[in-house]
Amino acid sequence: MRLDEVCNANLYETNVYAMLGLEVGATPRMVRRRGEDLEGVHMQGRIAWRRECGRILLGQRPDPTLQDVKEALVKVTKYPECAQTDAFFWFWPAAAGSDDHALRHLQSGKRDLAFECWKKTADGAEEESAVIARHNLAVLFHLYALDAEKRRLAGRVECQSDSFLNVLDGFWTRAIGEWTALFNRESLWRVFSEMVRRANDPRLKEDFITSFRLRLPAALGSIIAQFLAAYEREGRTDDAKRHFGYLEKILNSAEARGEAIRGAYASEMRKTEMLLANCGKDHLPHEWLDDVKVLLADCRPLVESLTTFARGADQSINDFLDGLASICHSRVRDYVQRCGGHSDALETETYLLSIATSASLRREIEGEIGKLREVIQAEREKNTCWYCKRYQNMMPKFSVMLYKTTDNKETDTINVPVCDGCRGRFSLDTVADYPEIRKKLDSGWSLT
Ligand SMILES: [Zn+2]
């Protein structure tokens, strides 16, 4: 299991140490016994369960059910890397030998006091204590941020105000600041390695710490990308943009951000590719344009998000966008060849041009747009009165006969659009300047 695959917005809610009210570093035996205790408490009824859950360090979420607890126990006993990941994303006890005021404050529900303790220690001179305190501040603010963000995303009325947003943004800024400062702080990884070593689980891979450290920024980024996608799905663009801002702070490279965004949209991208494979299939040509329009409407939030936040950052995102534009484009072109409908097709091709990424596809679509415009323009001229320049559907036409001057035998007919109101202005003199006629007159043809 890769770290960024297990990281989601419920990181802290499903954390086994949070759920069981256990300290990080608890032995497997302590974990098991705590599980059994909780089962016993559950048998005593709801009030006892609530009281017991009150001891758990995370306040703002529904009480876990017995099922939740059982699942968490299975998770950490079956997957040692999950147990260590949960340990990483929970409050660490103070360095050996120092009194752990902060954890005790937290256990008695006094988060603010715990915060003050850690803040003081984090700025202290003793490196190991300082890094543990800083790590715990990162966890605390990250937990606050996720908790508040989920309530905002869920549409809770009290979480939509500007003042709430300010507080929420403060949590994120603080959490991201603390985490990024920790990425390369060697003492953090020493403390964590020691913690993992003490767990002494032979099933853990040797490179666990190395790969965990390598994947940590991406894992934190993936949680943010998931919020970005969730807001975008609801059309809440400002909130999506805010999360892109966080993503930029945690992941330096465009590639890494692209990968995080791709991860958040993986299932929608797969679904779109499936729809694309079937677009227009078993349908008649006159339905093809509508098929493309339905498909594009369906994946519009996905496409807008990818083009806004990740185009150019990630090759597979580029390929996805190009694939989408390319297949839709050929469907539309085939439709036009068989059924006309140029104006409708122009609108869709213009949109496809905004999706297409590669230069060759863009050129191809631009060429098609040029052709469509010419046809539309010619169509328009055919229905525009030659005299008053008024446009009208099905403009009446005057047929004008021309003769080839050399033999007077060969003839040609040109239809001149003339509205009912201008009919009186028609004469062979006045119509001689109609471009098509003028061209003929200049090349050896005459009107009489
Ligand atoms: Zn007219």
Residue type, 76: V
Q: How far is the CA of 440 from the centre of ligand 1 (A)?
A: 23
Q: Of 79, 77, 54, 75, whose CA–CA distance to 64 is shortest?
A: 54
383 CA from centroid of ligand 1 (Å): 10
Centre of ligand 1 from the C-alpha of residue 401, in Å: 21
Please give the distance, rounded to the nearest whole angstrom, from the Cα atom of residue 102 to the centre of ligand 1: 87
Residue 98 alpha carbon to ligand 1 centre in Å: 96
Cβ atoms within 10 Å of 329's Cβ, excluding its own: 21
The CA 386 to ligand 1 mean position distance, Å, reads 7
* Separation of CA 44 from chain center: 45
Distance 423 CA to ligand 1 centre (A): 7
**Under a CB-based contact definition with an 8 Å cutoff, are residues 169 and 161 in contact?**
no
Task: Report pTM.
Answer: 0.82
Helix, coil or strand: residue 352: helix
DSSP state string for 16-57:
HHHHHT--TT--HHHHHHHHHHHHHHHHT-HHHHHHHHTTSS
Task: Measure 344 CA to ligand 1 centroid, in angstroms.
Answer: 27
Q: Sign (positive/negative) of CA torsion 104, 107, 113, 114?
A: positive
Q: Which residues are bridge partners to 402 per DSSP?
A: 412
CA 392 to ligand 1 center in whole angstroms: 10
Q: How far is CA 260 from CA 111, 182, 233, 257, in A?
A: 32, 20, 16, 5
CA of 343 to the centre of ligand 1 (A): 24
3-state secondary structure of 14: coil
CA angle 334, 337, 342 (to 5 degrees): 100
One digit per residue, the tens of pLDDT, for the chain of length 448 reads: 667 667 888 888 888 888 887 888 887 788 888 888 888 888 888 888 777 765 555 556 677 788 888 888 888 888 888 889 999 999 998 877 677 788 888 777 788 888 899 999 988 878 899 999 999 999 999 999 999 999 999 999 999 999 999 999 999 999 999 999 999 999 999 999 999 998 888 888 888 999 999 999 999 999 999 999 999 999 999 999 999 999 999 999 999 999 999 999 999 999 999 999 988 888 898 899 999 999 999 999 899 999 988 887 788 899 999 999 999 999 999 999 999 889 899 999 999 999 999 999 999 999 999 999 999 998 899 999 999 999 998 899 999 999 988 776 788 999 999 999 999 988 888 888 898 999 999 988 988 7
436 Cα: distance to centroid of ligand 1 (angstroms): 18
Both tokens assigned to 133: 């305190």
Q: How far is the CA of 417 from the centre of ligand 1 (A)?
A: 8
Structure token digits, residue 432: 């001689």
Q: State the distance between the two ends of the chain, measured CA to CA, in whole angstroms.
A: 87
CA distance 103 to 101: 6
Q: How many CB atoms lie within 10 A of CB 122?
A: 19
